[in-house]
Amino acid sequence: MSGTSIDAVLPLTLKDWQRAELLFESLAHNFSDLGTVFIVCPDRQVEAITQRARDLTLALTLRVLPESTIVPEFALTPKLGGWYRQQLIKLSMFEHVDSELYLTLDADIICSRTVNASDLSPNNLGPCFVIEQELRRHWYERVERVLRVRAPRRGILHNVTPAVLHCGALLELKQVLNDKSARGEYSKGLRGLKQRWLAFKARNRQEFASWRVYLAGATPWTEYALYYTFLEATGRFSKYHFYSAYSIYDIERSLWDAGDKGARLATWDPTAAFIGAGPPWFVVAQSNTGIDIDAVRQKIEPLLHAIKR
Give tens-digit pLDDT for 97-143. Answer: 999 999 999 999 999 999 999 999 999 999 999 998 777 888 899 99
Q: Which residues contact 69 (CB under 8 A, 6 or more apart)?
A: 40
The per-residue pLDDT for range 248-276, each reduced to its tens digit, is 999 999 988 767 656 778 888 999 999 98
Amino acid in the structure at residue 219: T
For residue 309, the model assigns a pLDDT of 47
Fold for 6-306, please state it: Spore Coat Polysaccharide Biosynthesis Protein SpsA; Chain A (3.90.550)
pLDDT digit string, tens, across residues 163-221: 999 999 999 999 999 999 999 999 888 989 999 999 999 988 888 999 999 999 999 99
Nearest Cα to Cα of residue 72 among 245, 186, 197, 206: 206
Mean pLDDT in the chain?
A: 91
- String of DSSP letters for 87-107: HHHHHHGGGT-SSSEEEE--T
Q: How many residues does the chain have?
A: 309
Residue 202 in contact with residue 88, Cβ under 8 Å?
no
